[in-house]
Structure 1
Amino acid sequence: MNAAAASASSADFAASTGTPHTLPTIGADAAVTDALRQDLTDAGFTVERVDALWGAEAAASLHRGSRVAALRALAARDTTPLGTLATLFVLGLPVRRADADAAFPSAGVQSVEASGLVRVDADSVAPAVDLRPYAFVDDLGAGSWWIVSDLGELALGTALGEEHVLGIGGATTTLSGLQVPVPVRRVLDLGTGCGIQAMHARRFADEVVATDISRRALDIARFNAQLNGIDGIEFRFGSLFEPVAGERFDRIVSNPPFVITPRSEGVPAYEYRDGGMVGDALVETVLIGLGDHLEPGGTAQLLGNWEYHWGTDGLDRVRSWFERADTDGLGLDAWVIERERQDPTAYAETWIRDGGTKPGTPEFDRLVGAWLDDFADRRVTGVGFGYVVVRKPRPGPTRAGSDASRSLRSDVAAEPVGRGAAHLRRFERVPETLGSNPAGLGATVARVLDAAAWLAAHDDVALAAAHLVVAGDVTEERFYWPGNDDPTVMALVQGGGLGRRVDADTALAAFVGACDGELSVAAIVGALAQITGVDEQVLAADLLPAARDLVLDGLLVPAA
């Protein structure tokens, strides 16, 4: 079947079955999901083999919204079970009934139809959902699943419906990479969608509670868990923390419906991204509610948007939310990373296009106008996007000698607490490095939180007595003017984590070079003072804060 024939077949099937956008009811019958899992396994329906069907160029073309190259590559082999499944569920095109029968020998086409995955005509079978393989790597090793979600714009040929259940995208992989890979008892996935974060969380948790305001999303999430043989996830219906009132968790993960949408008539409110509140109020509500639902020592990892208003920085708004949430004097440790900031027009265009409305159409222009009117009325000058990491400190005795007025670094405020250590309050912009490779950042998150706790427990006297070691991924760069013996620029470069680059002077470079775990910080500072002839107290005043920064960022680590 060539590309033109496939498109015509898709249109013919839609005409014969009525409205093509009617969302199917998804049913998770154990016998069917077990049989379907066997069929997908036997067909080799994996990321690697699907990519091999049409090659890298066609895969890139698919990502840009065109399936012509993939269809041309499939022309000679689209009747194999693998080719049939790829055509049906990845390309979103109908296949011949005989080919579908061959692709589902265990489950049977009728059972797959009864589960809501396909629509069957006399001689053809069309997709009712998107079902595709997904591969990942975490601290437990490599894994692969199959994920059901709603058909996208490419398959529908029109804008998405408001009840659309989103599949796997960039935000999915980012948040799954941010999850701390430490075993815990209970995890909450707030706004589970297709269930992918709950499934990731289950790999490190005894039990997971997954909530959503969409019953259909919960049906799909339940189906995905069952299709992949994952138990231990409880699915609950309700808004935000209502389904878990009075409960606490060791970890909370959430890709909430944070998109800022005008509350105007005629503007679609997509369940997967719109929380129904004005501006960034939903993200504020979620962050403020975390403290009531985290166990002491518990953590949260979330994605979110925050607004910039006239005269008000977006990160300052987020900082104020945590300050208002500190009602009991215990507060929360918070690390907020802004990866991107968009102006109002770019933000509006991005999310209108995300819903399937194409630029150049009257509807697109109308929606852009509605977005810009809303931003202008509320004096919004931009929108930030990024990641939020939270920890609820464990209560404990006040540490004697701590200097709560001193920051751990320039963008981290240490605040006194009635009981326990100073807070980590870190608000920073990391525009490129973090977003480029989110996989494995959960380990970095865990390390930063541990480092912050260690620093809070060590005042300057304790830090001076500590022994530090240079992390194994740190290198030093030096640049010289031609003919000069002394470097003009020195920098410490982190190979992993966030890939930080720290400018260093001669004293800091020498200090870091001497951190091999043998000498204490005080001994190194004393030796450098003797060599350079600088007053030891003056040198310590410069190097101790720098050492704290490097420990927090992971370039230096406490010796075991």
Structure 2
Amino acid sequence: MRIDPAILRDQLTAARYTSDAVVDRIGEDGQAGLGRNCTVPSDVALAGATDPQAALIRLFILQQAVPREQVAAAVDVEALLGAGFLKGDGGALRAVVDIRPYGSPDDGATGWVVADPTPGLDHTMSPIRPDYVLGVSPASTTLAQLTMRTPVGAALDLGTGCGVQSLHLSRHAERVVATDVNERALDLAQVTAALGGVAVDYRNGSLYEPVAGERFDLIVSNPPFVMSPPSDEADTLTYREANFEGDALVETLIRGAAEHLNPGGSLQLLTNWAVTDQPWEERLTEWIPRGCDAWVIERERLDVFSYIEMWLADAGLAGTGRWRAAYDEWLGYFERLGVRSIGMGWVLVTRAERAEPHRRFESWPHAVAQPVGEVFARHRAALDASQLPTAELLASKPRLVDVEQETLGRPGAEDPEHVVFRQRVGLLRAVKADTALAAALGALDGDLTVGQVIAAVAQVLDLDAAELAAALVPEIRQALLDQMLRLG
């Protein structure tokens, strides 16, 4: 590292080149424009300003050539030129890498993320270098939001890229190891960590190779899962693809998880998988290691055409003469592998070591309330509660949490036809309840046992208590698993 991160951090802070300050400067329109890869709204917001903050926004975020004297008023130009982070452009300077402020109100992970400049900015398309290092993306943000923030001893950021996940992991892990097959990614991630003042053990290598024989309490990864046709090493975009056939890379990660997890430890992935003629749940079940629980949520399903077009555009091939030939190559590849569509979603694998591992697969394309990390963090306790022996369940005192109650019925009717309980947080699940279930759920406030509530509801509705219990206990188990009800 040719720069002094402490000095650069002080300079960036003094220039108010921080997450909140930059957002305030470019405004909501500027933020939205950058989300569309358009710099114009941010440029308009700066209104020709030349102060240090404006110069850094133009230099790194808007990718503009900025007069050398303006940049020099903010940072040590010679140090950044020597590090290869800047290059000369006449009397001006351009950024070779993107140093971008980062802030997370959820867990306080703040700093600056160092990566390659955003491709396709202002609709300029060009091929991406094979060792390209992606910055903070919607995918990396989603992974950060679904990651469990329970304090742990050791965490692994597998395929660290620009290093943003390690910023988050360092907030709740005593030790963080980060790996990547891309040496350039490791170089830039080290600067990300240094600017953020966090300690990370960086290692080069593929998948679990750099951590052979080691175990962790938490492994997180947004692996290079794109199922592109295998290509020459020089043409492989390492940030998104790894020359494994189909989804074999994801399969390898999941199958090997147990060997690198401490008892009770978990692997969390944001990834995709092939959907073939075999039901996807059956196919992925085969990957889960023995003794491990698994919860897989399919968030989106793409047809092969949409998937191919998305990733060809991401590679900078849109509008080029290589587009159709590459498209046909992908189609032939998917046909050979029997890929009918692509599932995209979240994977949680936990080394629970139960006598009967629990496997849950579901499609949930609906809106959620991010961050959902707490949902995953509570999953094991929710599962334990839902599997209590019936006598213990009836003696337990769960309570309804973070749920709104709605009524459904015909206009003018004296009584509602159904009551809907809807979560306000997490996955925003809803359950439509009949009179008996609605009465039972509404009465479970942590003071009465399940058995007492069922008995009271049976008395009020003039029903047989044993028959009502047989009907309601499965519903209560599901409500515990879905975290509408919670023990403790």
Does TM, scored on the shorter chain, surpass 0.5? yes
Q: Distance in 1 between matches of 2:177 and 2:20?
A: 31
Aligned-partner Cα distance in 2 for 1:121–1:147: 24
- In the other structure, the counterpart of 1:381 is 340
Q: CA offset at residue 383 of structure 1? A: 0.2
- Note if 1:544 corresponds to 2:478: no
2:459 aligned partner? 530
Task: Give the whole-Å Cα distance in 1 for the aligned partners of 2:240 and 2:259.
Answer: 24
The one-letter amino acid of 1:513's match is G
Matched, 1:485 2:445: no
Match of 2:302 in 1: 342
User: Does 2:383 match 1:438?
Assistant: no
Whole-Å separation in 2 of the counterparts to 1:480 and 1:178: 36
CA contact (8 A) 2:178 2:202 kept: yes
- 1: distance between equivalents of 2:148 and 2:463? 43
Pairing 1:356–2:316 present: yes
Q: State the Cα distance separating 1:356 from its structure 2 match.
A: 2.1
**Unmatched segments (≥5 aa) in structure 1:** 1-26, 395-419
Q: Is the 8 A contact 1:469 1:557 kept in 2?
A: yes
Decide which of 283, 286, 294 is 1:320's aligned counterpart.
286
Q: What is the Cα deviation at residue 144 of structure 1?
A: 2.3
1:20 aligns with none
Give the match's secondary structure for 1:389: strand
Contact persistence 2:400–2:441 (CA under 8 A): yes
1:302 matched to 2:269: yes
Distance across 2 between alignment mates of 1:128 and 1:264: 27
User: Contact between 2:219 and 2:268, CA under 8 Å: does it hold in 1?
Assistant: yes
The reply on whether 1:194 has 2:124 as its aligned counterpart is: no
Listed as ranges, the gaps of 5+ residues in structure 2 are: none
Q: Which residue of structure 1 lines up, in the alignment, with residue 398 of structure 2? A: 468
How far apart are 1:339 and its partner, in Å?
Answer: 0.4
AA at the equivalent of 1:163: D
Residues 46-195 of structure 1: pairs in structure 2 closer than 5 A = 46-77=18-49, 79-104=50-75, 108-121=76-89, 123-139=91-107, 142-154=108-120, 157-195=125-163
Alpha-carbon distance in 1 for matches of 2:100, 2:203: 25
| Cα shift at 1:297 | 1.0
Contact 1:452–1:552 under 8 Å retained in 2: yes
The letter for the 2-side match of 1:438 is Q
Partners of 1:210 and 1:144 in 2: CA distance: 18
Q: How many residues align?
A: 486
- The Cα shift of 1:470 comes to 1.3
The CA deviation at 1:177 is 1.2
Aligned position for 1:514: 443
Q: CA deviation at 1:121?
A: 4.7
Cα pair 1:28 1:226 within 8 Å, conserved: no
* 1:351 Cα deviation from its structure 2 partner: 1.1
**Structure 1 residues 157 and 480, CA, compared in 2 at 3 Å: closer, same or farther?**
closer
Deviations 1:394-424 (A, max 9, x none): 5xxxxxxxxxxxxxxxxxxxxxxxxx45322
The one-letter code of the counterpart of 1:295 is N
Q: Deviations over 1:348-398 (max 9, x none)?
A: 01111112222x43322222211111111222110000011121115xxxx
Which residue of the partner structure matches residue 381 of structure 2? 450
Aligned to 2:325: 366
Q: 1:438 to 1:171 in 2, by over 3 A?
A: farther
- 8 Å CA contact 2:298–2:345 kept in 1: the answer is yes
CA offsets 1:98-126 (integer angstroms, 9 cap, x no match): 1111121xxx2111111221113552211
Secondary structure, counterpart of 2:104 in structure 1? strand
Cα displacement (A) at 1:246: 0.9
Is 1:291 the counterpart of 2:258 in the alignment? yes
1:546: how far off? 0.5
* 8 A contact 2:110–2:167 mirrored in 1: no
Q: Determine if contact 1:267/1:367 at 8 Å carries over to the other structure.
A: no
Q: Are residues 1:272 and 2:239 paired? A: yes
Please report how far the alpha carbon of residue 491 of structure 1 lies from its aligned counterpart in structure 2 after TM superposition. 0.9
Going from structure 1 to structure 2, the CA distance change for 1:47 and 1:305 (only over 3 Å counts) comes to: same
Q: What is aligned with 2:174?
A: 206
Q: CA deviation at 1:478?
A: 0.7
Give, as a single letter, the amino acid of the residue that structure 2 aligns with 1:87: R
What are the superposed Cα offsets for residues 175-229 of structure 1, whole Å, 9 maximum, x if unpaired?
A: 1112211111111111111111112111101111101111111111111101121
Query: For the residues of structure 2 that align with 1:118 and 1:57, how far apart are their CA atoms?
Result: 28
SS of the equivalent of 2:105 reads strand
- Which amino acid in the other structure matches residue 428 of structure 1? E
Deviation string 1:270-292 (CA, Å, 9 cap, x unpaired) is: 10111220111110000000000
Show the counterpart of 1:249: 216
Q: Per-residue deviation at 1:488?
A: 1.8
For residues 24 and 39 of structure 2, the distance between their equivalents in structure 1, rounded to whole angstroms, comes to 15
Letter in 2 for 1:354: D
**Distance in 1 of aligned mates of 2:252 and 2:2:** 33
TM score, norm. by length of structure 2: 0.95
User: CA shift at 1:304, angstroms?
Assistant: 1.2
Q: Displacement, 1:479?
A: 1.8
How far, CA to CA, are the matches of 1:72 and 1:532 in structure 2?
66
What is the distance in 2 between the residues matched to 1:113 and 1:289? 42
Could you tell me whether the CA contact under 8 Å between 1:173 and 1:438 is conserved in 2? no
Q: Identity rate of aligned residues, in percent?
A: 40
Deviation of 1:132 after TM superposition, in Å, equals 1.0
Q: Distance in 2 between matches of 1:548 and 1:130?
A: 49
Q: Kindly provide the amino acid, as one letter, of the partner of residue 429 in structure 1.
A: S
- SS of 2:406's equivalent in the other structure is strand
| Equivalent position SS for 1:483 | coil
Other structure's SS at 1:137 match: coil
